[in-house]
Amino acid sequence: MKQNKIERIHSDSARTCKLCMEEMETLYEHLAMSTDEIDLLDMPKRSFTVHFPVRMDSGKVKMFIGHRVQYNDARGPTKGGIRYHPELTIEYLQDLAFLMSIKCALVNIPFGGAKGGIVVNTRELSRGELERVTRAYIREIADYIGPFKDIPAPDVYTDEQIMVWILDEFEKIRREHTPSIVTGKPVELGGSHVRKYSTSLGGVFILEEALRKLDIDRSELCVAIQGFGKVGSNVARILYEKGFTVCAVSDSKGGIYKPEGLDIKKVIDHKTGTGSVIDLPESQNITNEQLLALDCGILIPAALSNQIKRENVNDVKAKIILELANAPLTMEASRTLIDRSVLIIPDILANAGGVVVSYFEWIQNLSQDYWEEDKVLERLREKMITAFEKVHDICLEQNCSMRRAALQFAIQRILYAERLRGNL
Ligand code: NAD
C-alpha cells in the first residue's frame, strides 16, 4: 500500500510541490498519510488562466496571459504574491502557492496559500502599459479575489505602485473602499509599518534565537550574504546595526569581501550611486561562487533559487545557512550539508516574516486601527519565535532537519483544519 502511494507521488498527474518533492515523499511515509490526505495536499483547490487584450502605446492591441492559483483555504482565505515574469508557468505558481500554504500554517496565521501573475517582461512595457495590463488582469480575476477569498501581495517584479493599481481597480469594480483586498500598499493607503523589511527582520529574529539555543557566540562568526536587493540589503543593514560582522555581500554583478567587516551603510550608498556593490573602496572584489565558498560562520542566500547544488556544495564552509531566498539549495545539496552537521534554517520558516506582516496589514485594514511600529515589531517577533520553538522541539524529539520538522508541523495543521471541516 505504501509503495503505491509513493508511486502515485511520482506519477505525472501528481501535483505535490516539485521544490520540496523528496522531503514530502518521506514525510508522507513517516506520517503514514492516507491516500485521501495525500490527494488533498497534492492538488490546488483552484488554478486558472485568463487571457485579456490591452491597448499598447503604439495603438495596437496585444493579448496577455495571467494565472492565479489558490492552493488550500482550509485555514482561511488564500494569500500570495503576484509575479510578473516572461517565463511564468502555472505549474511553478502551483509549487509556490503550496509553499505559501505551508508558510501560513507554520507561523499560524489564518490564511491559505496562493500565487499568481502575468506572463510579461516588465522591462518591455511603458509605465502606462504596465498600469493598463495590471488593471485588465484584475478585472479578469476580480470575481475570485477579495478580503475573505484571496488576497494578493507584491512578488518578483511587482511593487507598491502595482498594489495601488490593484486596490484602485478592485474598488472601482466594488464601488466601495476595500483596503484589505491587497497587501504591500504604501503606509499612506493602508500599508503597515515594517512591511518593507519584514522578511529580513523575521529571518534575523530566527537566526538570533537559533544562536541562543545552540549557545553560539555571534562575535565568533562572520556573515556572507548573496543578493543585495530588498531582502539582502535589509538583512545586511539589520545585522550590521545589531553588531554582527558582515564580511561579504554580492549582487548579480559580483561580490565584495572584507574579513574584518564591511560598513553596510557605505555599501548601500555605493550601490545606490553605482548600481552595484562591486568596486567598493577598501574591499576586495570576489565572484558569487567565491562568496558561497567563504569560510564564514553564517551564509545567507537572498537572491535566486538553486544557488547551492551538487556542483558547488562541497565548497560550502559555512556552519549555519539562513535561507532567505526561496529554495536557494537543491534538496540534494541540503542533505549533503545536513550530513556535515551544517544547520540549515529553511526558507518556509526563515522568510515567513513577510507574510506575517502582510497579515498584520490585513488586520489593520479590516479593523481600521493602525499600529505603531513598535507593536508590529513586537508581534512579528512573537510569531517568528513561536514558530521557531515548535520546529526546534520537533527536531529534538525526532532528530530530524528543520525543513522536515517545519513541513511536518504545517501539514498537520492544514490536515487538522480539513478534518474539522469534514473534508477528510
Ligand atoms: P530583489 O529582486 O529585490 O533582489 C534580488 C537580488 O539578487 C538583487 O540584488 C540581484 O542583483 C541579486 N542577484 C541576482 N542574480 C544573482 C546572482 N546570480 N548572484 C548574486 N546575486 C544575484 O528580490 P528580493 O525581493 O530581495 O528577493 C530575493 C529572494 O527572496 C527571492 O528568492 C524571493 O523569492 C525571496 N523572498 C522575498 C520576499 C520579499 O519580501 N521580498 C519574501 C519571501 C521570499
pLDDT digits (tens, 9 = 90+) for 86-131: 999 999 999 999 999 999 999 999 999 999 999 999 999 999 999 9
Q: pLDDT by residue (tens digit) across 208-265?
A: 999 999 999 988 899 999 999 999 999 999 999 999 999 999 999 999 999 999 999 9
Q: For ligand 1, atom 17, which residue shows the shortest CA distance?
A: 252
Q: Which atom of ligand 1 is nearest to the CA of 228?
A: 9
Same fold across 2-10+48-189 and 192-424:
yes
| Cβ 291 under 6 angstroms from ligand 1 | no
Judge contact between 225 and 302, C-beta under 8 A.
yes
pLDDT for residue 12 is more than 70: no
Mutate to test the pocket of ligand 1, among 231, 234, 329, 347 (most ligand atoms within 8 A of CB): 231
Instruction: Provide DSSP, 116-153.
Output: EEEE--GGGS-HHHHHHHHHHHHHHHGGG-BTTTEEEE
Mean pLDDT of the chain: 94
Judge contact between 406 and 398, C-beta under 8 A.
no
What is each CA distance from 57 to 6, 62, 172, 392, in whole angstroms? 52, 10, 23, 54
Residue spans per domain, the chain: 2-10+48-189, 192-424
Q: For ligand 1, atom 43, which residue shows the shortest CA distance?
A: 351
| Cβ 199 under 6 angstroms from ligand 1 | yes
pLDDT band at residue 139, thresholds of 50, 70 and 90? very high
For the ranges 69-83, 139-153, 323-337, the lowest mean pLDDT is seen at 323-337
pLDDT for residue 276 is more than 50: yes
* pLDDT at residue 287, as a whole number: 98
For the ranges 21-25, 260-264, 300-304, 387-391, the lowest mean pLDDT is seen at 21-25
* pLDDT at residue 20, as a whole number: 72
| Cβ 324 under 6 angstroms from ligand 1 | yes
Any idea which architecture 192-424 has in CATH? 3-Layer(aba) Sandwich (3.40)
| Cβ 134 under 6 angstroms from ligand 1 | no
Q: For ligand 1, atom 1, which residue shows the shortest CA distance?
A: 229
User: Which CATH code for domain 2-10+48-189?
Assistant: 3.40.50.10860
Average pLDDT over residues 21-45: 87
Mutate to test the pocket of ligand 1, among 249, 304, 306 (most ligand atoms within 8 A of CB): 304
| Cβ 84 under 6 angstroms from ligand 1 | no
- The percentage of the chain sitting over the pLDDT mark of 70, rounded to a whole number, equals 95
Judge contact between 117 and 155, C-beta under 8 A.
yes
- The percentage of the chain sitting over the pLDDT mark of 90, rounded to a whole number, equals 88
* Residue 20 zone, left/alpha/beta (φ > 0; ψ -120 to 50; rest): alpha
For the ranges 30-34, 255-259, 361-365, the lowest mean pLDDT is seen at 30-34
pTM: 0.93
